[in-house]
Amino acid sequence: MRLQTHSSFGEVSFLCNTPQPYSIRVRELCRVLRLDKQSFIEILDIYFSDGRIILNNLLEGKDANLRNQLLESDVTLSIEKSESELAMRLNCAAFNGDYYRLKRLIGAGADPNKADYDRRSPLHIAASKGYEDISLLLIEQGVDVNISDKFGNTPLLEAIKGGHDEVASILVQARASLGIDDTGGFLFTTIAKRDLNLLKRVLANGINPNAKNFDYRTPLHIAASEGLHSIASLLVEAGAMFSRRTGMS
């Protein structure tokens, strides 16, 4: 194989701590930039976002086995650790309502889409706290407004749960959706808690009032069986339909 100008070699040995599987021979005078691993690791501690770009470039064209080796290398783990720590700093800034710190972190290369160990993004945090300015900043940065955390919560659902109508409106304008996987289960839990305010907000944001649970019961069935007149009225106003069928025939 003949390498072109600006090509790299030795990355497998460099990243995976394995012997170089081939030798390099030059046929004419060349200028080679040599980088030892310790120096590279020290650079990554400061510029780990560039390390991710380098790693992605090195992964291009590699077979599956070699890709797995590179992805499991200590260099990759170091990059992922730094990314996770930065995600925590972003979420902390969002939690504290520190607009300018969040903006500086993003300006320094932090990915506003990066989520923490619970897959919660800065937008989840800002929406749950009702921070309009931070929510707008993140949306302007092109974040995914429909990202779900590991509990199935989207930023819009977080805003609605917190009663932050202005943030919810901002998210809806940005084409955010509730993104609830088990709509029936969510509504039944809300009704069981007698949370009329939350029910009003999710119905106003387009949740299906006729969603059924595992035994084909609708929220209106539950409200009627429990004698919850105000909740039943609210469901009917939102389009809940009367049905005699509660199971499969």
Q: Where are the domains of the chain?
A: 11-72, 84-179, 181-249
Residue 104 has pLDDT above 50, yes or no: yes
Say what percent of the chain tops pLDDT 90.
29
Backbone angles phi, psi at 127, to 5 degrees: -65, -40
- Residue 111 tokens read as 């990915």
pLDDT, position 158? 94
Average pLDDT over residues 107-131: 90
Compute the average pLDDT of residues 37-66: 74
Q: How confident is the model at residue 19 (pLDDT cuts 50, 70, 90)?
A: confident
Map tokens 């005699």 to a residue: 244
DSSP 247: S
The model's pTM is 0.63
Fold of domain 181-249: 1.25.40
State the CATH class of domain 84-179: mainly alpha
3-class secondary structure for 63-119?
CHHHHHHHHCCHHHHHHHHHHHHHHHHHHHHHHCCCHHHHHHHHHCCCCCCCCCCCC
Distance CA 128, CA 126 (A): 6
The reply to whether domains 84-179 and 181-249 share a CATH topology is yes
**pLDDT at residue 183, rounded to an integer:** 85
Specify the pLDDT at position 142.
93
